[in-house]
Amino acid sequence: MFSKVLIANRGEIALRILRACKELGIQTVAVHSVVDADAMHVKLADESVCIGPNPASESYLNIPSILAACEITGADAVHPGYGFLSENSRFAQILEEHKIAFIGPSADHIAIMGDKIEAKKTALKLGIPCVPGSKGEVKTESEAKEVAKEIGYPVLVKAASGGGGRGMKLAKDESEMGMALSTARSEAKAAFGDDAVYLEKYLGKPRHIEIQVIGDGKGNGIHLGTRDCSLQRRHQKVWEEAVAFCLTDKQASDIGEICAKAVRDLKYSGAGTFEFLYENDEFYFIEMNTRIQVEHPISERITNIDIVYEQIRVAFGDTLAIKQSDVSFWGHAIEVRINAEDPQTFMPSPGLIEHYHPAGGVGVRVDAAVYQGYRIPPYYDSLIGKLIVHGKNRPECLMRLRRALDEFVVSGVKTTLPLFQRLIEEPDIISGNYDIHWLEKFLAKTE
Ligand code: MV4
């Protein structure tokens, strides 16, 4: 096994990775910016290295500095967590060249899935159902109009280098195509330095369903079931559930098996997520994430599989020890993201945490990286913790979430906890009647 893992991240995910390493007897190295010197991930690691000034571009995204930290400490592997360098194929490549293991997929797999056109072509070849659209890049306006006529309006223009909602433009009819195409193109050029775009039929009220997978790079691969991540605002998920309760067991296992087979065929290594839109009983692949995700704990709860442990094992070169027939699903899990933000406007609310009392008890897991007296810096994203609840079915899970929210105290800064206390009383949430637009409509109503 690895002897020392450097964790190129901060916050709750750095702690999550540290805990997995400690259980495996692996030494840990925390890296941090100046302001993070007293952060929890630094306190809990065996060693720590300051890698630069506060802006992420100069610290958590600073590849030369992180490489130097590996060299100084003798780390033999790097876990990137999510965000930051986690889906940077160049970083994975550079580590490989330095004989340091990247705890994640190959640089090639990261690059393929980072290019949404390549990702979609790959998905189609693997037999994964996709949204009807252009066969790859569209170059000219007349070509775009031709394709759009075939697939039918409304049509979305998407950036090849996009993802997470950036660089998307809607054309409701042909008269809007020229404008949608040119604005999508120029926004993509400005944001990613790449103006390649493609077209897809626009789905009006889908749910966002994703499949968690793990592969070992040797042709073994499994899925850990479905998640419904439809409750989001501006492409930031706020509440996630496993399993996706709108599906029958057969629908879930069929799409899960399609994804697991894709992992085997690709010889994909590490954890990943296939993202789908789901509408009128059909699945449409949109993207694949090649990293551990924020919401991975709900899949861990329903399967009893430690995803970070498996990531580390397969990155070392071990064969996946879990077969699909070993994976069973128990009950229901919900995660809510506790952000230091105003619960109505989502304006960041950094500052001193005066009181901190996490929820506990049966069926409750809290992944957080804060403590009473901790000062949340203004430089990074505002996620301060995640409340994960588990129960034998969705009603029990909701009951437990209501109880856990009652217990949870964070004061001194604004948090999204009051939003969840409102949501848990909403009939549509209780009945599970929501799509990707539900939360934004709810927030608009109560402005
Ligand atoms: C779509 C779509 C409707 N139709 N594609 C947004 C982020 C990116 N991952 C894909 N996104 C969407 N693609 C087609 N053909 C609607 C969205 C979308 C969305 C998707 C998932 C979760 C939240 C969303 C919020 C707005 C739009």
* From 234, 239, 277, 283, mutation site for ligand 1 pocket: most ligand atoms within 8 A of C-beta: 277
Q: What is the mean pLDDT of the chain?
A: 97
CATH code at position 31: 3.40.50.20
How far does the centroid of ligand 1 lie from the alpha carbon of residue 357, in Å?
A: 36
Task: Please give the residue range of the domain that contains residue 383.
Answer: 207-445
Instruction: Looking at the structure, tell me whether residues 87 and 138 fall in a common domain.
Output: no
Q: Is residue 43 part of a domain?
A: yes
How far is Cα 350 from Cα 54, in angstroms, rounded to an integer? 14
Interval between CA 203 and ligand 1 midpoint (Å):
8
Which of 150, 182, 201 corresponds to the end of one domain?
Answer: 201
Give me the amino acid identity at 112. Answer: I
Domain for residue 116, yes or no?
A: no
- Whether 191 and 229 map to the same domain: the answer is no
- In a domain, residue 114? The reply is no
443: pLDDT confidence band, cut at 50, 70 and 90? Answer: very high
CA torsion sign for 119, 107, 269, 380 is: negative
Q: Is the CB of 199 under 6 A from ligand 1?
A: no
Same domain, 245 and 322: yes
pLDDT in tens, 305-362: 999 999 999 999 999 999 999 999 999 999 999 999 999 999 999 999 999 999 999 9
Domain shared by 149 and 194, yes or no: yes
CA of 165 to the centre of ligand 1 (A): 6
Same domain, 25 and 53: yes
* Buried-state track 232-256, b at ≥16 Cβ within 10 A, e below 16: beeebbbbbbbbbebbeeebbbebb
- The answer on 185 and 88 residing in a single domain is no
Decide whether any atom of ligand 1 lies within 6 Å of the 165 Cβ: yes
Give me the CATH number covering residue 161.
3.30.1490.20
In this structure, the answer to whether residues 185 and 55 fall within a common structural domain is no
Please check whether residues 225 and 267 belong to one and the same domain: yes
Most ligand 1 atoms within 8 A of CB, residue of 155, 156, 273 to mutate: 156
Helix (H), strand (E), coil (C) string for the chain = CCCEEEECCCHHHHHHHHHHHHHCCCEEEEEEEHHHHHCHHHHHCCEEEEEECCCHHHCCCCHHHHHHHHHHHCCCEEECCCCCCCCCHHHHHHHHHCCCEECCCCHHHHHHHHCHHHHHHHHHHCCCCECCECCCCCCCHHHHHHHHHHHCCCEEEEEEEEECCEEEEEECCHHHHHHHHHHHHHHHHHHHCCCCEEEEECCCCCEEEEEEEEEECCCCEEEEEEEEEEEEECCEEEEEEECCCCCCHHHHHHHHHHHHHHHHHHCCEEEEEEEEEEECCEEEEEEEECCCCCCHHHHHHHHCCCHHHHHHHHHHCCCCCCCHHHCCCCCEEEEEEEECECCCCCCECCEECCEEECCCCCCEEEEECCCCCCEECCCCCCEEEEEEEEECCHHHHHHHHHHHHHHCEEECCCCCHHHHHHHCCCHHHHHCCCCCCHHHHHHHHCC
My answer on whether 434 and 406 are in the same domain is yes
pLDDT of residue 447: 79
Domain boundary among the residues 153, 186, 201 is at 201
Instruction: Tell me the CATH number at 316.
Output: 3.30.470.20
Closest CA to ligand 1's atom 12: 165
Domain-terminating residue out of 94, 117, 143? 94
| 249 and 323 within one domain | yes
Q: Is residue 166 over pLDDT 80?
A: no
Confirm whether 161 is domain-assigned: yes
The total of structural domains in the chain comes to 3
Q: How confident is the model at residue 163 (pLDDT cuts 50, 70, 90)?
A: confident
pLDDT of the residue at 165: 73
Asked if residue 104 belongs to a domain, the reply is no
The reply to whether 361 and 379 lie within a common domain is: yes
155 ligand 1 Cβ < 6 A: no
132: preceding bond cis by omega (within 30 degrees)? no
Of the candidates 16, 185, 264, 291, the residue annotated as catalytic is 291
**Does 257 map to a domain?**
yes
Is residue 111 situated within a structural domain? no
Instruction: Look at residue 41 and tell me whether its pLDDT is greater than 80.
Output: yes
Q: Specify whether 262 is located in the same domain as 342.
A: yes
pLDDT of residue 47: 98
Q: What is the average per-residue pLDDT within 11-26?
A: 98
Place 64 in a pLDDT band, splitting at 50, 70 and 90: very high
- 311 within some domain: yes
Mean pLDDT of all residues in 223-236:
97
pLDDT at 167 over 90: no
**Is 291 designated active site?**
yes
Q: Write the CA distances from 399 to 227, 362, 363, 389, 447, integer angstroms.
A: 19, 12, 11, 10, 27
What's the whole-number mean pLDDT along residues 362-369? 98
What pLDDT is stored for residue 431 in this prediction? 98
Q: 170 pLDDT band (50/70/90 cuts)?
A: very high
